[in-house]
């Protein structure tokens, strides 16, 4: 059995386990990176020295543009190889796991790339000026993400019938881990969503003109366009809306991390700890 054949079996197992297409794609990219460096060798011929050598080479440590990868990106690559070879070992295709000595580097997670209050207002004001269908749709989509912290994929999967304006809640069909959930809207966000829905009783909440769903890639392109029009020059993404929501909850709750965890639907408080980084503006105010 070659590495490519083992990868095919691994991806099938991941799909059977309900792992998302994005997760499967990431594992596939990382294992194929190893194949491109090592060659499509028999899976049982690979040892821990091969993996150590690969993880030290430029093919693993450099990006496509030749710049060094971030420590967190290299840790993700290490984790992908460990999961892949652990599966191959448990499945009985090899007698010894060659990834058993791989260790993740100790590094701090990157700070959350949130939009500050001024940037949020500039973005929303820019969106309000657009009166065509796509502009209004994007306005309500981004306002909802800023106001609830839901992920882009979850927002794009919302159907009109998932929205309960009376309770100010939205049923989330597509959440991380495939676990259905509900989010709470503020009164302002609920009113805006109600005006967007109007008399519609079914269908995609944020559709194309033909009523079909827009793709995440298209939504990301639109988001970048709006960010540029708003005069925001630093690098942000739709996920920055989620970070912005978390920072606002942390501020309004006076640092209550359990409330932030509940609002963000984090299973582990460790995922929420990243928002406790010191805000430089607040530090300046304290120092005076």
Model pLDDT, residue 1 = 94
Q: Where are the domains of the chain?
A: 3-90, 117-278
pLDDT at 226: 97
Q: Which residues of 15-37 are buried (b: 16+ CB within 10 A; e: fewer)?
A: eeeebeeeebebbbebbebbeee
| pLDDT for position 140 | 96
Long-range contacts, 216-224 (Cβ 8 Å, 24+): 216/152, 216/153, 216/156, 219/138, 219/141, 219/152, 219/156, 220/152, 222/134, 222/138, 223/138, 223/142
Per-residue model confidence (pLDDT) at position 179: 63
What's the pLDDT score for residue 137?
96
The Cα–Cα gap between 46 and 98 comes to 7
- Confidence (pTM): 0.69
φ, ψ at 9 (rounded to 5°): -65, -40
The CATH number given to 117-278 is 1.10.443.10
- CATH of region 3-90, choose from 3.20.20, 1.10.287, 1.20.58, 1.10.150: 1.10.150
Reading the chain (288 residues) residue by residue, the pLDDT tens digits are 999 999 999 999 999 998 888 899 999 999 999 999 999 999 999 999 999 999 999 989 998 888 999 888 999 999 999 999 999 999 999 999 999 999 998 877 677 889 999 999 999 999 999 889 999 999 999 999 999 999 999 999 999 999 999 999 999 887 665 666 889 999 999 999 999 998 888 899 999 999 999 999 999 999 999 999 999 999 999 999 999 999 999 888 888 888 888 888 888 887 788 787 656 666 566 676
Can you give the pLDDT at residue 177? 57
């Amino acid at each position: 059995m070659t590495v490519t054949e083992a990868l095919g079996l691994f991806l099938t197992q991941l799909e059977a386990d309900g792992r998302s297409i994005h997760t499967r794609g990431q594992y596939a990219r990382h294992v194929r990176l190893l194949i491109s460096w090592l060659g499509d060798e028999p899976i049982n011929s690979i040892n821990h020295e091969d993996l150590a050598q690969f993880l030290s080479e430029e093919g693993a440590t450099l990006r496509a543009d030749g710049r060094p990868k971030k420590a967190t990106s290299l840790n993700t690559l290490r984790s992908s190889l460990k999961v892949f070879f652990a599966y191959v070992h448990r499945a009985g295709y090899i007698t010894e796991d060659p990834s058993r000595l791989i260790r993740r580097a100790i590094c701090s997670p990157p700070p959350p790339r949130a939009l500050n209050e001024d940037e949020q207002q500039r973005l929303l004001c820019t969106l309000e000026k657009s009166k065509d269908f796509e502009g209004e749709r994007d306005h309500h989509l981004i306002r909802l993400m800023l106001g609830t912290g839901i992920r882009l994929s979850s927002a794009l999967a919302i159907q009109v019938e998932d929205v309960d304006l009376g309770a100010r809640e939205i049923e989330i069909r597509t959440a991380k881990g495939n676990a259905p959930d509900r989010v709470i809207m503020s009164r302002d966000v609920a009113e805006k969503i109600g005006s967007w829905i109007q008399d519609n009783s079914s269908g995609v909440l944020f559709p194309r003109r033909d009523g079909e769903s827009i793709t995440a890639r298209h939504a990301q392109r639109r988001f970048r366009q709006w960010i540029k029009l708003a005069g925001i020059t630093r690098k942000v993404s739709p996920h920055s809306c989620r970070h912005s929501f978390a920072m606002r909850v942390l501020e309004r709750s006076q640092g209550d991390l359990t409330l932030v965890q509940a609002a963000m639907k984090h299973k582990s408080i460790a995922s929420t700890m990243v928002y406790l980084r010191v805000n430089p503006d607040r530090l300046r105010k304290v120092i005076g």
